[in-house]
Structure 1
Amino acid sequence: MKTKNLLSNAWRPFGWVLIIIVILMHLWGVFMGEQYPLNFGIEIPLPFNFGGFDLSENHFIIQGKLHLQALEIISLLMIAGLMIVGFSRLKIEDERVAQIRLESLQWGIYANYLILALCILLVYGGAFFMIMTYAMFTPLLIFLLRFYWLLLIAPAIEANRERNLA
């Protein structure tokens, strides 16, 4: 089957490595109080200056430089890893896999917004901000969990059940 808009299968291991590194770095930051093993930051010069909105304490001003700290870099790497793993071809990519991929992505969106709606109703303050931060990753995480569940684990469970009934 000709698949459009999917990365090569060779990218999948790179995505898994990114995800594992990011999870380990995030866990390190959580348990060590945001003291990441590599306390780093990047300053990227931008080709433009934009003086934007200044609402008292909340600033939205781009000064010609982009400052990325460890947490922002970790978040970007997590998104990249999840996207690479989620949207790389499998070795055998057929209609069944395409259908499972589509349904899993749909489930990921539904579940994310259901969880988000519950959090809007039940969570307040700083905890809500943390939940909104994690909400960036939940659609892709749920998509990957369900996709690999249906692809790898569910058929093995069904085959074992049929063997036990026979």
Structure 2
Amino acid sequence: MNTHYLLPNKYKIIGWFLFIPGLILGLLSFFENVDDDTITIPVLSIFYEEFMGSSPRELFAIITTGILSEIIAVMIIIGGLLIALSKEKIEDEFTSKLRSDSFVWAMIVNYIILLLATLFIYDMTFFTVLIFNMFTPIIFFIIRYNFLKLKSNSDEE
């Protein structure tokens, strides 16, 4: 069994401390329409073009912008990866198979949803679906993997 790509188990706890608050903040900012300008700082932008603005496109510019959505996205992505890529306390062939099956299942479900969204959702609503789609593979994986792990633990008892 090859687990050289997995992190030590202790990183899973850090992942949960980033992932859960990131999800909660992300859902709150989406459903409560929280203004992204809550935290505004100058940042490096590799490519910048004002939305419906008249200013020219800029490459490698310092701009002042709200970064709340970026902080939330980083929390979800890094937290999710730490959870998904950390070893279990007992890492064996069974957990490796659960991990692999959950990954494949998450990809299939994710792309079925994306395909349906492409066919039936349009305009800015589709853009919103794409934003959520950045996070759904890791969320689906975490849910499926932990569900199967919990189910196998209850079957053993």
TM-score normalised to the size of structure 1?
A: 0.78
Specify the structure having the higher radius of gyration (Cα).
1
Contiguous gaps of at least 5 residues in structure 1: 161-166
AA partner of residue 102 (structure 1): S
- Secondary structure in structure 2 of the residue aligned to 1:83: helix
Identity of aligned residues (%): 28
- Contact preservation (8 Å) 2:44, 2:60: no
Shift of 1:57: 4.8
Q: Does 1:106 align with 2:104?
A: yes
The residue that corresponds to 1:150 in the other structure is 148
SS at match of 1:90: coil
**CA positional deviation for 1:69:** 1.1
1:76 CA drift (Å): 1.5
* AA at the equivalent of 1:104: S
CA distance in 2, matches of 1:134, 1:148: 21
Q: Matched residues in 2 for 1:63 and 1:116: separation?
A: 32
1:80-130 Cα distance to aligned partner (Å, 9 max, x none):
111010110110000111111011101111111000000111111111111
Equivalent position of 2:59 in the other structure: 62
- Structure 2 residue runs without a partner (length 5+): none
Assess, with a 3 A threshold, how the Cα gap between structure 1 residues 2 and 112 changes in structure 2: closer, same or farther. closer
Q: How does 1:68-147 map to 2 (within 5 A)?
A: 69-147=67-145
Aligned to 2:38, the other structure's residue is in SS state coil
Q: 1:41–1:84: structure 2 CA closer, same or farther, 3 Å change rule?
A: farther
1:39 CA drift (Å)? 1.9
Q: Residue 127 of structure 1 aligns to which amino acid in structure 2?
A: T
Once the 2 structures are TM-superposed, how far is the Cα of residue 21 of structure 1 from its aligned partner? 1.3
